[in-house]
Amino acid sequence: MTTISERTSPAERFQAIIDADEKVEPSDWMPEGYRKTLIRQIAQHAHSEVIGMQPEGNWITRAPTLERKAILIAKVQDEAGHGLYLYSAAETLGVTRDELVELLHTGRQKYSSIFNYPTLTWADIGAIGWLVDGAAITNQVMLTRTSYGPYARAMVRICKEESFHQRQGYEIMLRLCNGTPEQKAMAQDAVNRWWWPALMMFGPHDSESTHTSQSMEWKIKRISNDDLRQHFVDMTVPQAEYLGLTLPDPELRWNPERGHYDFGEIDWDEFWRVVNGHGPMNRDRLEHKIRAWEDGEWVRDAAAAYAEKQQARRAASRTGG
């Protein structure tokens, strides 16, 4: 008896996996475009997790209480972990982490533009957790069902941690909004600055998005940018109302016919300006990242030397030497 897999070509087998909603694994044949798209996307995602540590790390020494400091340290550390899972997922596609880091440092790969905005007050830490991690989860829940196995599995764990991040951000906002008028004003100011950048996180309109249709066919991406953005708006407006905060969009209103909130147009000039490296913090973020990489060289060298020594010792004990 011949099985289907013996008669079909690798390309047909790949398509059968996609059609059956099963996972493509590192040992499976895959089209070169699929591999390249995933490397680009997972790397960009990993870089974002690591660069995203900067705007919040900036507030660790200034957190208002010891408890807030401990929570923020844990959150920033989680983001480093997310970067690690994602670099590992990318490595299963035949690239090394060093290569990807090099591409980031030389500006040939990007990270999410959201991290090119500054964190000016403590309320920004609340707004980031609530809105930025909230937008990230909206995008990432979809990715737990992405067609590439190692990426999907990394996202399951990341999403659990992100939902904690989102809640701690919302809790900071809640505390500020129930505080003094100055604290509430600080929360409102943070939302005014973070609302539109958070909406930009979903990327260009579907009609302008160069990668969307192929990625949807490969089931890397399962929901379009505009649908995800709408879902995020619908979810977030009632949360803002509960806080007693205004979202900075005069066109935002419930549309009973659509069963969704209508909202205004993103400033696409600003969107592309930041994507192309001219956001308020692009240069600082990359310079800081490169400096941290260079400063950490001795740690990487020491870890590699230690691993080598351990390996030699184990080999010697196996041969009885």
Binding site for Fe ion (CB under 5 A): 49, 79, 82, 133, 162, 165
Nearer to Fe ion, 124 or 133 (CB): 133
Report the nearest approach of Fe ion to the CB of residue 192 (Å): 22
DSSP labels, 262-309:
E-----HHHHHHIIIIISTTHHHHHHHHHHHHHHTHHHHHHHHHHHHH
Nearer to Fe ion, 24 or 42 (CB): 42
Per DSSP, what are the bridge partners of residue 262?
253
Nearer to Fe ion, 162 or 249 (CB): 162
Q: What residues contact residue 265 under an 8 Å CB cut-off, 6+ apart? A: none
Between CA 155 and CA 201, with CA 207 as vertex, the angle to 5 degrees is 40
3-state secondary structure of 92: coil
Q: Which two tokens stand for residue 197?
A: 């950048």
Nearer to Fe ion, 38 or 46 (CB): 46
Q: What is the largest CA-CA distance in the chain?
A: 79
Nearer to Fe ion, 24 or 142 (CB): 142
Nearer to Fe ion, 79 or 124 (CB): 79
Report the nearest approach of Fe ion to the CB of residue 128 (Å): 9
Report the nearest approach of Fe ion to the CB of residue 224 (Å): 22
Q: Which two tokens stand for residue 180?
A: 């003094």
Report the nearest approach of Fe ion to the CB of residue 160 (Å): 11
H or E stretch at 66 = helix 66-91
Report the nearest approach of Fe ion to the CB of residue 125 (Å): 12
Report the nearest approach of Fe ion to the CB of residue 219 (Å): 23
Q: How far apart are CA 58 and CA 109, in angstroms?
A: 24
